[in-house]
Amino acid sequence: MTLSRAARLLRAVTIAVIVLWSMAPVGLGILTSLSTQTDIQAIPVRWLPAHPTLDAYRSLLSGTSAIRAGGTVSESGAFAHAVGNSASLTLISTLAILCVAVSAGYAFARLRFPGRDALFWVIVTTIVVPVFTIVLALFQIMADAQLIDRELGLVLVFLSTTTPLAMWLIYNHVKELPTEPEEAALIDGCTRWQAFWHVVLPQMRSGIAALSAIIVLLVWGEFLIPLLLTSTSATKPVTVLIPEYVGKYTTNYPLLAAAGVLALLPPALIALVLNRHIRGMLSGSS
Amino acid sequence: MNTGIPTRETDTGGTSSGRAKPVDLATRETARAGLLLVAPAVIITAVLVLYPLVKGFQTSLESADTAAGGTPHFVGLRNYGDVLSSSTARDAIVHTLLYAALAVTLELVFGLVVAMTLYRVFRGRGIVLAILILPWALPSVLSGVLWRRVLDPDRGLLNSLLEQLHLVSHPHVWLASRGGALVFITLVHVWGVLPLVSLILLAGIQSIPEEVYSASAVDGATPLRQFRHITLPLLRPSIAVALTVGTVWAIKIFDEIYVLNGTALNTRSILMEVYTITFVDADFAHGTALAFLLTALTMLFAAAYAVALRRSTT
């Protein structure tokens, strides 16, 4: 089908708007992070920094930001520490959720066993329950078990809130894979385990890549769960630390933006590199 | 239940009658493997989801004065009644429904525009699609933080722009009025969820066979008529899914409100009210009751869309 010239122009304009709209806060964040407080205070407003500088990044990473941020940054190196917390939490949670979800998703999609349908629907139904309702109840159990402000506690909560959705996504992926390779392996004398490990898992490669990316994005970006379950810099991830930079009366925007931009880098890279896989999984089954 | 990985040897050892029937053997092995593979997910759901939910529900039925040293006692649905008659909670429910209605409308309209624009092949489509999902991939607190500079009342970019264009004479405190604040917070929320809705609709449009369009084009149908009479009806299942996803995400709106306006009363959502009751007022009983009301509301919407979806596909 061919488009008329007017239609093509309209489409080009719409595409430009989509791209601009999608990148606007990030672009603005980068510009702000390169500005100085003078640029921010300037009247009339200065969209581009007069003298671009990396000062905000420097003070953020070297920990000399206490005075500049109006006293909101209490410890030196707090930001780097929070990045480390986020990374470790994301890595451990993702691995744990991935193992549980992939094995269950495969079994529900391919194997026959007693109680399969009932168990499947119970797990899938819990996806709709708002995370907060579960976390609220978990909070008291965690407090009793002394798991507040500990990484293990956070990992358990992420397992609880993310496993059902992850299982559902990978289940749909397995359902779409051809069954012939596994059947052939079984006829050739493989056990179920061998067939799963050597035939089906390699088939699921793109699905597992997409799922890992989605879990990483969910865990890295989660705010409410760590907001409730962390209290010290030993466990606080970036998503909880950065909003603390917002001052009550004035905000050091360059510093805030620099922190935001740095914390956005990992998810942005993952989204750009694995975007084809992620799109496939999100549009196919959510 | 099983303790180790079942192998052929243990299987044959365990069966008394099925030794001669390889089919039975395979079935048993499969059943065992299946149960073992789903066991971790089932245990996690039972221990970390269902058990806390039951415990939480119990909390919501007990008296709230435990903080004062009293022992909790059963009060039935009184906490639910208290919450529903509190004016801040009622406001929060109204705000949440407003957020959801506005967000879902915007997501559906703009999602359709995005999907209709991007479903054909063109040069650079891959890059545009990669950029499209960026807002969904980025943490909502961080994008909220980055939007702040736009909405800041003193030196905000929006106020400055409007002043330069002489559209306003003095800076406007965008997040202070109820209407303006709700709209801006919704926009920041929509920024993050629109990619997901667009992708769902895009997949739906791409599954419509091209022949349907070419046949109707021969009959002289204009693009607009094609959209109304072919695309929209065939897209109904995808629209139902998009509505569900959009509503479920909007009902639990929290992050955007927290970073843009804190716990301010004029923008409080249900979840923000739950947060305030539970963690600021330290009243778990009422907080949990409201959280369960939120759960019921979410499930109600999800069920309604599921019914609508079933009706439209059969």
Residue A72 banded pLDDT, cuts 50, 70, 90? very low
Question: In A26-184, at which residue ranges do the beta strands (DSSP E only) sit?
Answer: none
Quickly count: other Cβ atoms within 10 Å of residue A151's Cβ.
17
Residues of B in contact with A108 (CB under 8 A): 38
- Report the candidate in A92, A245, A78, A103 with the shortest Cα–Cα distance to residue A157: A92
**Rounded CA separation B163/B168 (Å):** 5
Residue A18 banded pLDDT, cuts 50, 70, 90? very high
pLDDT value of residue B10: 38
Residue B19 banded pLDDT, cuts 50, 70, 90? very low
pLDDT tens-digit readout, A153-196: 999 999 999 999 999 999 999 999 999 999 999 889 888 888 99
**Most trustworthy range by pLDDT among A100-104, B68-72, B266-270, B300-304:** A100-104
pLDDT value of residue A248: 63
The three-state secondary structure class of B2 is coil
When the pLDDT of each residue in chain A is averaged and rounded to a whole number, the result is 87
pLDDT value of residue A189: 87
Residue B3 predicted with pLDDT over 50: no
CA angle, A198 then A204 then A210, to 5°:
145
**Rounded CA separation B115/B99 (Å):** 23
Nearest to B53 among A3, A40, A129 (CB): A129
Q: Which of residues 116-155 of B touch A (CB under 8 A)?
A: 117-118, 120, 122, 126, 128-143, 145-150, 152, 155
The whole-number average pLDDT for the span A188-206 is: 91
- Report the candidate in B244, B253, B237 with the shortest Cα–Cα distance to residue B300: B244
pLDDT value of residue A65: 46
The whole-number average pLDDT for the span A199-209 is: 94
Say if B307 is an interface residue toward chain A (CB within 8 Å).
Answer: no
Poorest-pLDDT segment among A147-161, A192-206, B64-78, B276-290: B64-78
pLDDT value of residue A164: 94
pLDDT tens-digit readout, A94-135: 999 999 999 999 999 999 999 999 999 999 989 888 888 888
Phi, psi of B99 (to 5 degrees): -55, -50
Nearest to B291 among A101, A136, A278 (CB): A136
Question: In chain A, at which residue ranges do the beta strands (DSSP E only) sit?
Answer: none
**Rounded CA separation A101/A95 (Å):** 10
Q: Do B199 and A282 touch (CB under 8 A)?
A: yes
Phi, psi of B210 (to 5 degrees): -60, -30
Residue B287 predicted with pLDDT over 50: yes
The whole-number average pLDDT for the span B22-43 is: 86
When the pLDDT of each residue in chain B is averaged and rounded to a whole number, the result is 83
pLDDT value of residue A3: 67
Quickly count: other Cβ atoms within 10 Å of residue A45's Cβ.
18
Higher pLDDT residue, B212 or A160? A160
Phi, psi of B206 (to 5 degrees): -70, -20
Nearest to A136 among B7, B31, B278 (CB): B278
- Report the candidate in A243, A72, A97 with the shortest Cα–Cα distance to residue B148: A243
Residue B11 banded pLDDT, cuts 50, 70, 90? very low
Estimate to the nearest angstrom the gap between the alpha carbon of A149 and the chain centroid: 20
pLDDT value of residue B69: 58
- Report the candidate in A226, A235, A239 with the shortest Cα–Cα distance to residue A157: A226
Residues of B in contact with A107 (CB under 8 A): 33-34, 37-38
pLDDT value of residue B14: 39
Q: Do B259 and A246 touch (CB under 8 A)?
A: yes
pLDDT value of residue B311: 77
Phi, psi of B201 (to 5 degrees): -70, -35
Distances (CA, A) of B142 to A25, A249, B238, B255, B289: 10, 20, 30, 9, 30
At B122, which helix (H) or strand (E)?
Answer: none
**Most trustworthy range by pLDDT among A201-215, A232-246, B205-219:** A201-215
Give the distance from residue B5's alpha carbon to the nearest chain A alpha carbon, in angstroms: 9
pLDDT value of residue A70: 45
Residue B7 banded pLDDT, cuts 50, 70, 90? very low
The whole-number average pLDDT for the span A7-12 is: 88
**Rounded CA separation A137/A32 (Å):** 40
Higher pLDDT residue, B153 or B134? B134
At B135, which helix (H) or strand (E)?
Answer: helix B134-137
pLDDT value of residue A286: 38
Residue A252 banded pLDDT, cuts 50, 70, 90? confident
Higher pLDDT residue, B88 or A251? B88
Supply the pTM of this predicted model: 0.87
Residues of A in contact with B298 (CB under 8 A): 128-130
Max distance between CA atoms of chain A, in angstroms, equals 77
pLDDT value of residue B9: 39
Residue B71 predicted with pLDDT over 80: no
**Rounded CA separation B187/B193 (Å):** 10
The CA radius of gyration of chain B, in Å to the nearest whole number, is: 26
Cβ–Cβ pairs < 8 A, chains A and B:
282
